[in-house]
Amino acid sequence: MKNRNLLYLGIALAVIVGLPIAYYLLSPLWINVEVDESFPTAMPAEVSAQATKTMSTAMAEPTKMMEEAMPEAEMKLLAQGSFYDLFHAGSGQALVYQLADGSRILRLQDFEVDNGPDLRVYLVPNDPVATSVGVDIPGAVDLGELKGNIGDQNYDIPADLDLSQFKSVVIWCEPFKVTFIAAPLVVQ
């Protein structure tokens, strides 16, 4: 009788502990997270001040034709590449932009990947990316948690990071140490 009670207790504990873990690891397989971030339009302070002045003048005299054009914020495409499958299916573009204020972003555009637990966005120093399991990628820089497995999204790139050292973007599954998909970064 005592052994049977211990068996039931062991099964109950396994279910109590195992179900949440199984849900965490398997639920991303049927749950999609869509993101639709707009493109950032950071302007340097002098451009922003000029735009405010031009708009104020136009609002004060709405019937007068303005000769001054609205100042434009300059941005530059630094690198880009298309995602290819490694251990999971995915598609879209990885685009690295330098904004007018000097900051840089990685934009995932028309992006889609199979979902998974704790997916991260990495910049890595190699292209092509090796399809290894259970091994960290040497020299990888983590840009943060993947915001969604579908849709356009932006990730800040640290100002002190030397982009010339990175050749690919990887969507990485942290718990299983698996590369889902990757995109080469071709300098423009």
3-state secondary structure of 146: coil
Domain boundaries, the chain: 32-43+75-187
**DSSP code, position 72:** -
- For domain 32-43+75-187, the CATH architecture is Sandwich (2.60)
Residue 44, C-beta contacts closer than 8 angstroms, at least 6 positions apart: 73, 100, 101, 102
The mean pLDDT value of the chain amounts to 85
Question: Tell me, what DSSP letter sits at residue 62?
Answer: T
SS3 118: coil
Q: In this predicted model, what pLDDT tens digit does every residue of 27-80 receive, in sequence order?
A: 666 678 899 999 887 555 554 555 556 656 666 666 666 565 555 558 899 999
In angstroms, rounded to a whole number, what is the distance separating the alpha carbons of residues 9 and 67?
81
- How confident is residue 162, by pLDDT bands cut at 50, 70 and 90? very high
Q: Burial of 30 by CB count in 10 Å (0-12 exposed, 13-18 middle, 19+ buried)?
A: exposed
pLDDT recorded at residue 14 = 78
The residues, ordered by sequence, that sit 6+ positions from 78 with a Cβ below 8 Å of its Cβ are 96, 97, 98, 104, 163, 187, 188
Q: Band the pLDDT of 18: cuts 50, 70, 90.
A: confident
Helix (H, G, I), strand (E, B) or coil at 10: helix
Q: Is the pLDDT of residue 82 over 90?
A: yes
Q: CA 91: distance to chain centroid?
A: 13
From 3-7, 69-73, 108-112, 117-121, the region with the lowest mean pLDDT: 69-73
Which tokens is 54 given? 């031009």
Which residues, in sequence order, are bridge partners of residue 84? 182
